């Protein structure tokens, strides 16, 4: 839609324009989209039956809202997507600092200007992309930042008395009139600063350095907060909380399928990486399982949460590990291996907050444990659970593989070429047949990934010994490993 042609208040009136509040504007556009079955909040996955309906109800009620949830739960993204529910263009008085509606001026200067020029008062148009403001709450935020202050330079330049309202320099909130204004991490805002928002939310007036201004600001407020903040760093003062009409709880994805979709959507992979590196869906599932394990780990602070950014960063590192190997080996194409998962450790250690026991273990060990638990969990889903087989005394489908390791040792090095990698795995008796039996649909490089996954899974269930080498991993029989205490790479 092109910018409307009206350039004066007279032309605006002739066009049939009718003022409406921003909350009514967002509500009307939401209703229209819902009736037309048009998509809303695109890119937000896993909230269709929970958070999105709550946000819609809040908008229909014309409420200010707070999105409450742990980090990495798309709170800020939801707020930013609300811009799509604004009208594409709205008229504003030309030169207005507060985006004033030409037919509903709120400042003394604008009222006087319209009284002087009447229908010839010039107007301009504001696009919806310019009607969004965001502020991260930090302890150093001041009332002047949010509300405003007296500007002595303006007073001197314009030769104004400090009793004149024109000496005021408005802060972020008044300048966000007729906009969506977001304050992230609200509890981090000092209590005295939160108090300054009371009247704006309810009564519509502000006080700046002795000036009591009646400014019926028209703002859609969206706040975000982390539940941890309520106890660890600060709190939302009760009167402010009481003025925020809707509190909406966000959450992590309820199943791995949604987590995988989010990771694939958000991971920033280059076209070169996508063309060079292939991967199995099992690898993607294993990547997501790490976050699942972290959220229930006794070493990870559950109150802090485990952001979706962990799996996104880890997936990017997984591709980079495979790409690095292909560059070193001069190969045009390669496939993600289990060994590449050691490359995601930095993405894990930087995204989790540890409790005391976790700090004692160390972030690197905790990350390794999370990977091990993830392998163990998924192995029991993709292949027969060795522990259950032992209890039922059924025939062991892994026996041929285990017997091979009674006489052999297998080293899988991280930077070995694809041809050598395949040769080493195919040399293990029964490994190819096992994957073929339980997953006949997997072929080629994907089958090799499954074969390596089986070895790691058997090690997690104490069927084999797995020893981490500096350049890869060594598998050997469990009994032989007990007698070989050297741990060397010879």
Q: What is the DSSP string of 176-235?
A: TTTSEEEEESGGGS-HHHHHTTHHHHHT-EEEETTEEEE-----EEEEEE-TTHHHHT--
Q: Are 82 and 220 in contact (CB under 8 A)?
A: yes
pLDDT of residue 316: 97
pLDDT on residue 211: 63
H/E segment holding residue 95: none
Question: What pLDDT, on a 0 to 100 scale, did the predictor assign at position 484?
Answer: 57
- Parallel, antiparallel, or unpaired: how do β-strands 180-184 and 132-136 relate? parallel
pLDDT at 349: 92
Quick one: CA torsion of 113, 118, 122, 125, rounded to 10 degrees? Answer: 100
Rounded to the nearest 10 degrees, how much is the dihedral formed by the CA atoms of 369, 372, 373, 377? 170
Residue ranges and CATH numbers for the domains of the chain are 9-142+172-249 (3.40.50.300), 253-382 (1.10.8), 386-490 (1.10.10)
pLDDT per residue as tens, the chain (490 positions): 788 999 999 999 999 999 999 999 999 999 999 999 998 899 999 999 999 999 999 999 999 999 999 989 999 999 999 999 999 999 999 999 899 999 999 888 899 999 999 999 999 999 999 999 999 988 888 888 888 776 666 666 666 665 566 667 788 998 999 999 999 999 888 888 888 888 777 766 666 666 666 778 899 999 999 886 554 456 888 888 888 999 999 999 999 999 999 999 999 999 999 999 999 999 999 999 999 999 999 999 988 889 999 999 999 999 999 999 999 999 999 999 999 999 999 999 988 999 989 999 999 999 999 999 999 999 999 999 998 877 666 688 999 999 999 999 999 999 999 999 999 999 999 999 999 999 999 999 999 999 999 999 999 999 999 999 988 999 999 876 555 544 444 4
Task: Collect all residues with Cβ–Cβ distance below 8 Å to 20 and sequence separation of at least 6.
Answer: 28
Cα of first residue to Cα of last residue in the chain, in angstroms, is 71
The reported pLDDT for the residue numbered 488 is 46
Take residue 271 and report the two structure tokens written for it: 């076209």
Residue 460 confidence (pLDDT): 96
The whole model's pTM is what? 0.85
Q: What is the largest CA-CA distance in the chain?
A: 99
Report d(CA 247, CA 225) in Å as an integer: 10
């Amino acid at each position: 839609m092109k910018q409307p042609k009206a350039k004066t208040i007279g032309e605006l009136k002739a066009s049939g324009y009718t003022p409406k509040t921003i909350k009514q504007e967002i509500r009307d556009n939401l209703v229209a989209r819902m009736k037309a079955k048009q998509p809303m909040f695109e890119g937000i996955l896993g909230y269709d039956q929970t958070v999105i309906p709550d946000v819609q109800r809040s908008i229909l009620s014309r409420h200010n809202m707070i999105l409450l949830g742990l980090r990495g739960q798309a709170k800020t993204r939801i707020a930013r997507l609300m811009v799509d529910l604004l009208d594409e263009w709205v008229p504003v008085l030309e030169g207005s600092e507060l985006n004033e509606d030409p037919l509903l001026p709120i400042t003394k200067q604008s009222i006087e200007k319209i009284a002087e020029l009447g229908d010839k008062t010039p107007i301009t148009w504001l696009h919806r992309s310019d009607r969004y403001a965001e502020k991260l709450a930090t302890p150093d935020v001041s009332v002047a930042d949010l509300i405003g202050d007296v500007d002595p330079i303006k007073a001197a330049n314009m030769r104004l008395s400090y009793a004149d309202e024109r000496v005021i320099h408005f802060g972020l909130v008044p300048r966000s009139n007729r906009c969506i204004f977001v304050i992230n991490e609200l509890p981090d805002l000092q209590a005295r600063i939160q108090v300054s928002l009371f009247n704006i939310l309810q009564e519509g007036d502000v006080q700046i350095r002795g000036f009591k201004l009646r400014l019926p600001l028209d703002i859609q407020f969206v706040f975000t907060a982390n539940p941890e903040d309520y106890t660890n760093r600060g709190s939302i003062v009760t009167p402010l909380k009481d003025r925020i009409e809707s509190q909406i709880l966000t959450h992590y994805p309820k199943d791995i399928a949604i987590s995988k979709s989010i990771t694939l959507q958000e991971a920033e992979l280059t076209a070169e990486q996508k063309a060079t590196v292939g991967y199995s869906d099992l690898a993607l599932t294993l990547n997501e399982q790490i976050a699942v394990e972290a959220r229930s780990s006794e070493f990870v602070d559950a109150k802090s949460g485990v952001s979706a950014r962990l799996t996104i960063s880890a997936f990017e590192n997984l591709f980079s590990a495979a790409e690095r190997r292909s560059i070193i080996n001069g190969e045009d194409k390669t496939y993600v291996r289990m060994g590449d998962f050691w490359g995601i450790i930095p993405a894990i250690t930087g995204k989790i907050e540890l409790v005391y026991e976790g700090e004692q273990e160390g972030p690197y060990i905790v990350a390794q444990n999370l990977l091990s638990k993830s392998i163990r969990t998924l192995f029991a889903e993709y292949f027969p659970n060795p522990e259950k087989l032992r209890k039922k005394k059924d025939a062991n489908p892994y026996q041929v593989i285990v017997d091979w390791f009674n006489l052999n040792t297998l080293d899988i090095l991280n930077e070995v070429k694809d041809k050598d990698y395949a040769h080493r795995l195919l040399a293990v008796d029964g490994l190819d047949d096992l994957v073929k039996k339980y997953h006949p649909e997997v072929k080629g490089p994907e089958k090799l990934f499954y074969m390596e996954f089986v070895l790691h899974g058997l090690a997690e269930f104490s069927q084999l010994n797995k020893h981490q080498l500096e350049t890869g991993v060594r598998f050997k029989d469990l009994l032989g490993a007990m007698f070989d205490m050297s741990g060397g790479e010879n």
